[in-house]
Amino acid sequence: TGVGGGAMELISTTTLSGTPSTIDITSGFSSTYDDYVIYTSGITSSSVATLRAQFYLAGVLVSGSVYFYSLSSGGAFSAQVSKSYIEVGVINSSDPSGGKIEISNANSTANYAKALLAFGQQKTALMGRTSATGAITGIRLLLSSGTFTAGGTLRLYGIKKS
């Protein structure tokens, strides 16, 4: 079980190849599920970098300053407003990162109705959201600098509606 209380169903698995600067998961988001979980394992980058997320809403990548998130780092909390991304965590080349990203209310078209909760290494975004409207149809993961390296895996699960 997870967000929404239903059983988890594997929708897709993405294995990184090459050195991409972004990772897009744009298939699998639908009205079948309102809530999703993405598990990451073995994700590394060419240098120490902050992992960031952006949503695709109604098929369009939202990259404007419409993201808000709360961040915990070393026990300190901070609120970030009007950003073009949500910080998810920190990754590097020598310590493969594994984490969990939860997306709730993906089909809501109201602004601020969507939440992304990320749990990773070092920094942890406790909650992120966007003021943009539209159902979530995908997610982009990107780095503050450098590129991803081959070999990591991302698994997208849908949470069955209760």
Predicted confidence at residue 138, as pLDDT, reads 95
Q: Which of 70-84, 115-129, 148-162 is predicted least confidently?
A: 115-129
Spatial distance between the Cα atoms of 76 and 73, rounded to a whole number of angstroms: 5
What region does 107 belong to: left with phi over 0, alpha with psi -120 to 50, or beta? alpha
More confident residue, 2 or 68: 68
Residue 39 has pLDDT above 90, yes or no: yes
Residue 129 has pLDDT above 70, yes or no: yes
Q: Which of 7-16, 45-54, 105-114 is predicted least confidently?
A: 105-114
Compute, in degrees rounded to 10, the torsion defined by CA atoms 89, 87, 69, 12.
-80
Confidence of residue 119 (pLDDT cuts 50, 70, 90): low
Average pLDDT over residues 131-159: 93
Predicted confidence at residue 9, as pLDDT, reads 96
Tokens of 103: 């997306």
Q: What is the mean pLDDT of the chain?
A: 86
